[in-house]
Structure 1
Amino acid sequence: MDRGQGRDNWAAMHGGFGWQVPDSFNIAQACCARWAREPDAAQRVAIIAHGTEGATLTFARLQQEANAMSNLLVGLGVRRGDRVAIVMPQRFETAIAYMAVLQLGAVAMPLSILFGPDALEYRLQDSEAVAALCDESSAGAIAQVRAQCPALRTVVGIAGAAAHADIGWEAQRAQLQPEFAPVQTHADEGAVLIYTSGTTGPPKGALIPHRALIGNLPGFMCSQNWFGFDPLRPGSRSDAVFWSPADWAWTGGLMDALLPSLYFGRPIVACNARFSPETAFTLMQQHGVTHTFLFPTALKAMMKAYPQPRTQFALALQAIMSAGEAVGDAVFGYCRDQLGVVVNEMFGQTEINYVVGNCAMNGRTEDGIGWPARADSMGRPYPGHRVAVIDDEGQECPPGVPGDVAVHRYDVHGKPDPIFFLGYWKNEDATRRKFTGDWCRTGDLATRDADGYLWYQGRADDVFKAAGYRIGPSEIENCLVKHPAVINAAVVPKPDADRGALVKAYVVLAPQVAQARAVATPGPDSFDARLVAELQSHVKDKLAPYEYPKEIEFIEALPMTTTGKVQRRVLRLQEEERARGART
C-alpha cells in the first residue's frame, strides 16, 4: 500500500460499475438548465472571473444569457447539426456560447485563440462552420481568413470585437428573449467537433456525442477524489471550487474542467492571464481552489519556482489531476510532500478522453473507494472502460511487454462504452484505421504490470532506436527534470551514420541558471560545456548507459501543442533537416 493513499479497491469498483445512458441527453441541459431550475439558481455560482473583483456568473444568469444567444443564432439561420465555431478564451461568454449552441442542437467547434490564420482557415473550411463567435483576442485573425471560408455566413463579435464582425453581441442582446425551447437531442447526436493537435499529421476533426460527457464522469470523479462529495453519503453536498489553465477550446479544458464542474453544479474559475507559477498559486489561494487539472509542464515550473509553496501560500487543495505528458516521480513527490495532495495522473485523448488513471483518495480509507497511485504510472482503467495493451494483431500483450494502449467499444459487462467519439469528420478511412476490430488504438505505447497499472513508453512515433537500443524519451526527460538546473526537456533522435541515431536532449533551463548562462564567459571550459557534462553524468548515474544524451542543446522554450504536449516531432524534423544540410 502506498503511504497515505488508502486501500486498493480498483477490482471491486471496476467490476461493479454499470453504465446508465438515457436515449435522450443534452450536455447543456445537464450542465446548466437543470441547475437554473433550482430554487438557489440566482445565488449558485457557475463561473468566477479571476482578476475582476467580485465578478461571478450564476447558473440562473448563465441560462438566461444562453437562451438569448440561442435565439440570436436561430435568427441567423443556425440549425440542428450546424457547426458553430467558438473562438474565445476562458470568460463568461465562452461558457454562455457553449450552452447556447448545444441546447439548440448545433455542434460546438472550439478553436484556440492561439491559432494563427492558417490553422483557423483549415478548421473553418474543413468543418464548414456556418457561424463563428469571437472576442477581441481572435476577431482579427478570423477576419483575415473570412474570404476563404465560403460556408461561414456570420461572425458574431463579443466584448469589443464588433468592428471585425457582422454583428455585435452586446448590441443585439437587449432585443433577444431570455426564454428558449431547447432541442431534445439524442445521446448519440454530435455535440462537439474538436480537432486533434496534429502532432502526427494534418489535424482531424473528432466528432464528440452528447453521451461522451457521461462517459467522462467516472474518470473525473476518480481523478478529482470525488470532487468534494462523500461517496458513502448519497445526496451529500460539495464545496469544490475548480480551476485549470487548460484552454476551454480543447478536450482537457472543456470536457475535463468546464463541463464536469458545471455538471455537478460547482463553480469554475476563469482566468485569461498567461500561466506562471506565481499566478497559479495566487489564484488558488484567492479563490480557495480545491480541485485542479495541471499539466506536468505547469507542475514542473511550479516546483522549480516554489519548492516549498505552503510557506508562502494558504492552499485548500484536495485533488490534482495531471495529463498530457508523464508526470514523473520528481513532480509526484513534490505534489505529495509540498502540496499535500497525491497527484492523480490520467491518460486519454481527444477521441475517447480519459479512460486510464489513478484514484488516490489522499489518506481516506473508506471501504470500496479509490486505489493507490504509483509514481510515474498512467494508472489503471477507470470504471466503465475496458483498456488493454495490444500488439499489431490486436492481441493483448503479456505484462511487461510494450504495445499500443487500446480501448474496447464495450465494457467488461458487454455494454457500449459511451465515451467513444462518433468518428473523424469527413474522414471515414482515418476512422477505420483507428480501430482493430472493437479495439480503438490510441497510438501511445505502454506496458502493463501484474497489478494492472499501465506505464507510459511514449507515442509510437516518438520511440526510436539508437545503436540498436529501443529508446523511449519519457524516462530520460523525467531524469533530466530532476536536476535542479532543468525546468523541462525533450528527447529526440539525431541522425548518425554509424549508429542510426544518437540520443539528443533539448533542455529548458531554470530561470536563475539561464541568467547565469547568459553572462558566462565562452571558452573550452565554458559554462555550457560544464553543464552539459553535469547533466550527462546525472543521467548516466540513474539510467542505462545507452540512454544518456550524447548531445544537449539549450533552448528557451520547447515547441508545444495548444493542448500542452511537447511537439517532439518538430524537434525531430529539425534534426533531420540539419543532417541533410550537413551532407550537402
Structure 2
Amino acid sequence: MTDQYQDLYQSYRWLVPQHFNIADHCCHRWAINPQEVRQQAAIFFEDQVGQLTMYTYRQLSERVNKLANGLVRMGVQPQDRIIISLQHSADSAVATLAALTVGAIVVPLTAGLSSYQYAPRVVDSQAKVAIIDKHTMAPFMASLDNQTLVKQIIGVDTQDERMIALETLLARQPSQFTAVNTASDSPAIMVYPQPEPSAEPLDRKIKNDIPFDPELKATILTHRSLIGALPGFVASQDWFPRKNDIFWSSYDWNSGPGLINSLLPALYFGHSIVGCPAGRTIPRLFTLLEHYQVSNILTTTDELERIRNHDEPLPDYDLSIRCIAIPDHEKTTVLKEWVKARFNASLNGVYSDIAFIYLAGDSAQKWPDRTNSMGHVYPGRRYNIIDDEGMPVSNGTEGLLAVAAIDYHGHDDPALATHYWQQAQIHEIETIDGWYSTGISAYQDEDGYIFRV
C-alpha cells in the first residue's frame, strides 16, 4: 500500500456553504432525487423481538415532514430546544431530523437516566417541548416541576392524557414541509455529558429543589459540524461509501456520538443504516449483519470482545464486512489480527470526542497504522502538541494535543466545537493562546503519528 497521508492532508480544502441544514442534506434531498435513491432504504431497525421498521428515503422524509409540521403548530421556533429522550429506535432518527428540519436545537438524552439526572438537564436546556416514549416516561415526568419550562410533550408508543401521542399528531399533518434554511454555523445539537448509572430509583419524584450542578454544560454542535465529521468518517471507514456499502453501529442514535459519528454521516451519503437495541445475542447479531449485508461498522471493543469470546459454535454466515472502526485507545494488535482473520476486514482506531469530531485515527486503505498510536490527524484539521502556555513542542516531547479553529488554508474548522451552553446562555470555550485543547497528553513522532501518554 502506498502511504497517501501527506498528499491527502496537504491538499484537503473545506467547502462549507453559508447555509446548510443537516436534515435537508441527510433526508429531504434524497427524497426528491429523481434517481432510484429516493426509493432506497434509509433505515432498517429491528427491535428486541426482531420486528422491523424500514423507511425508504421518501418515506423517511414524509414522516419527518409530518412531525415538523406538528412541531410548528405546537409553536416551535428556530433555535428553540427540543428534548428527545427515546430508546434507541427508528423514531429517534425521525424526531431528530424533524427538529433539525424546523431549525430547532436537538437535545438528545438517552434512555436510562433517573429523574434526578433528567432534572438539571431539562432546566438548563430551557426546552419547552420534549419527545419521550414508554421507556423514558416515568423518570422524565418525575423530573418536572415548576422550575422546568417543558409545557408540551409528545409520547411515542404511549397513551397518557398528559401528552400528545405521536401517531395522533402525525395523522393530522401534511407530508410536505420546506426545511428552514439555517445558517451553517447555527446551533443544531446540544450534547450534555452522559452520567454514570444512577443508584436512585429512576422514577423517584423530585420533592425539593432540583439538584443543581454548577459544572453541567452542553457542547454545541452546529449544522456544519456534520460537514466537519465527513473526512474522518470516510477515512476511518476505508473510503465509505462504495456502491453497495451498508452501515451498522452499536451506538445509540439518541446520543451525541450515535448521531454525529454514525447515523447522520451514513444518511448524508444516501446509504442505508441498520440499527438494533444493545445486547443482541451473537447469533441474532450475525443474522442481522448477514441479512442486510452490512459492510461497515462503528462499534466498541466490548462489542467485538463479546463476539470473540462467544464459545458456542456458529453457522457459516455469509458476511460482507470490509471495515470496522473502534475508539483508538481500545485498539490492540491482537484485536486487529482477529478482525482480519474472522471477517477479512480492516480495523481502524478513531479518536472522536463530541467537541473534536473525528479528529484522528487510522485509514487502512490510505496509510499504514502504527502500533499503539492514535494514528494521524485527519485531513482538514490544523493541530499541534503544545505546552501549558500554548507553545508547540518538538517531536517526541510530551504536551497537549490541541486544534486550531482556522486551518492551514485560512478556513474555519467545521468539526471543532467552539461554544457550549450553560445556564440558558451560550459561552465560548476557552483556548490556550488560540488552541483548543483536547485534554489528551500526547507526543508526535517524526512521521506525524500521535501517541497518547
TM-score by length of 2: 0.90
1:218 match: secondary structure: helix
Q: Which runs of 5+ in 1 are unaligned?
A: 1-5, 230-237, 362-369, 458-584
Q: Determine if the alignment matches structure 1 residue 315 to structure 2 residue 319.
A: yes
Residues 145/167 of structure 1: CA separation in 2 closer, same or farther (3 Å cut): same
Alignment of 1:133-148 (within 5 A): 133-147=131-145
Letter in 1 for 2:257: G
Shift of 1:42: 5.1
Q: Is the 8 A contact 1:121 1:148 kept in 2?
A: no
Q: Is the 8 A contact 2:44 2:275 kept in 1?
A: yes
Shift of 1:192: 0.5
The corresponding residue for 2:310 is 305
Q: Residue deviations 1:333-369, cap 9 Å, x none?
A: 22223222221111121112111111111xxxxxxxx
Q: Determine if the alignment matches structure 1 residue 248 to structure 2 residue 227.
A: no
Q: Determine if the alignment matches structure 1 residue 7 to structure 2 residue 19.
A: no
The corresponding residue for 1:436 is 432
2:169 match: secondary structure: helix
Residues 177/298 of structure 1: CA separation in 2 closer, same or farther (3 Å cut): same
The corresponding residue for 2:199 is none
Letter in 1 for 2:11: G
Distance in 1, Cα, partners of 2:385 & 2:216:
25
Distance in 2, Cα, partners of 1:404 & 1:379:
16
Q: Is the 8 A contact 1:87 1:111 kept in 2?
A: yes
Q: Is the 8 A contact 2:87 2:136 kept in 1?
A: no
- As a proportion of its length, which structure holds more helix? 1
Q: Is the 8 A contact 1:190 1:210 kept in 2?
A: yes
Distance in 2, Cα, partners of 1:201 & 1:121:
13
Residues 374/278 of structure 1: CA separation in 2 closer, same or farther (3 Å cut): farther
Residues 125/428 of structure 1: CA separation in 2 closer, same or farther (3 Å cut): closer
Shift of 1:197: 3.3
The structure whose Rg is larger is 1
The corresponding residue for 1:62 is 60
- Within the candidate set 159, 176, 179, 1:179 is matched to 176
Residues 351/273 of structure 1: CA separation in 2 closer, same or farther (3 Å cut): closer
Q: Which moved more, 1:34-43 or 1:272-281?
A: 272-281
Q: Is the 8 A contact 2:241 2:269 kept in 1?
A: no
Residues 348/164 of structure 1: CA separation in 2 closer, same or farther (3 Å cut): farther
The corresponding residue for 2:91 is 93
Q: Is the 8 A contact 1:380 1:454 kept in 2?
A: yes
Q: Is the 8 A contact 1:342 1:373 kept in 2?
A: no
Alignment of 1:102-121 (within 5 A): 102-121=100-119
Q: CA RMSD in A?
A: 2.4
Q: Determine if the alignment matches structure 1 residue 34 to structure 2 residue 29.
A: yes
Distance in 2, Cα, partners of 1:215 & 1:164:
42
The corresponding residue for 2:337 is 333
Shift of 1:281: 2.9
The corresponding residue for 1:280 is 285
Q: Is the 8 A contact 1:206 1:421 kept in 2?
A: yes
Q: Is the 8 A contact 1:319 1:343 kept in 2?
A: yes
2:330 match: secondary structure: coil
1:450 match: secondary structure: coil
Distance in 2, Cα, partners of 1:72 & 1:246:
28
The corresponding residue for 2:441 is 445
Letter in 2 for 1:376: N
Q: Which moved more, 1:12-21 or 1:430-439?
A: 430-439
Q: Residue deviations 1:445-478, cap 9 Å, x none?
A: 2221111111223xxxxxxxxxxxxxxxxxxxxx
Q: Is the 8 A contact 2:42 2:273 kept in 1?
A: yes
- Within the candidate set 114, 122, 125, 2:123 is matched to 125
The corresponding residue for 2:74 is 76
Distance in 2, Cα, partners of 1:400 & 1:114:
43
Distance in 2, Cα, partners of 1:82 & 1:143:
20
Alignment of 1:318-467 (within 5 A): 318-323=322-327, 325-361=329-365, 370-426=366-422, 434-457=430-453
1:305 match: secondary structure: coil
Q: Is the 8 A contact 1:143 1:165 kept in 2?
A: no
- Within the candidate set 163, 166, 184, 1:166 is matched to 163
Distance in 2, Cα, partners of 1:171 & 1:429:
34
Q: Residue deviations 1:61-81, cap 9 Å, x none?
A: 111111110111111111111
Shift of 1:243: 0.6
Q: Is the 8 A contact 1:294 1:322 kept in 2?
A: yes
The corresponding residue for 2:205 is none
Higher relative contact order (CA 8 A, sep 6+): 2
Shift of 1:137: 1.3
- Within the candidate set 270, 292, 295, 2:300 is matched to 295
Distance in 2, Cα, partners of 1:149 & 1:216:
36
The corresponding residue for 1:19 is 14
Distance in 1, Cα, partners of 2:230 & 2:311:
32
Distance in 2, Cα, partners of 1:298 & 1:396:
37
Residues 355/427 of structure 1: CA separation in 2 closer, same or farther (3 Å cut): farther
Q: Is the 8 A contact 2:122 2:148 kept in 1?
A: no
Letter in 2 for 1:411: D
Q: Is the 8 A contact 2:117 2:195 kept in 1?
A: no
Q: Which moved more, 1:311-320 or 1:438-447?
A: 311-320
Residues 451/429 of structure 1: CA separation in 2 closer, same or farther (3 Å cut): farther
Residues 283/165 of structure 1: CA separation in 2 closer, same or farther (3 Å cut): farther
TM-score by length of 1: 0.70
The corresponding residue for 1:219 is 232
Shift of 1:325: 3.9
Distance in 2, Cα, partners of 1:162 & 1:155:
12
Distance in 2, Cα, partners of 1:455 & 1:354:
16
Letter in 1 for 2:275: A
Alignment of 1:466-545 (within 5 A): none
Letter in 1 for 2:302: T
Q: How many residues align?
A: 434
Distance in 1, Cα, partners of 2:404 & 2:193:
20
Q: Residue deviations 1:2-21, cap 9 Å, x none?
A: xxxx2211000000000100
- Within the candidate set 211, 218, 230, 1:205 is matched to 218
Distance in 2, Cα, partners of 1:358 & 1:273:
26
Letter in 2 for 1:286: H
Q: Residue deviations 1:25-49, cap 9 Å, x none?
A: 0000100110010133552100012
Q: Residue deviations 1:199-258, cap 9 Å, x none?
A: 8994420111000100000001001111133xxxxxxxx211111110112232101110
Shift of 1:149: 4.7
Q: Is the 8 A contact 1:209 1:422 kept in 2?
A: no
2:160 match: secondary structure: helix
Residues 20/306 of structure 1: CA separation in 2 closer, same or farther (3 Å cut): farther
1:162 match: secondary structure: coil
Q: Determine if the alignment matches structure 1 residue 239 to structure 2 residue 239.
A: no
Letter in 2 for 1:301: R
Shift of 1:312: 4.0
Distance in 2, Cα, partners of 1:274 & 1:171:
32
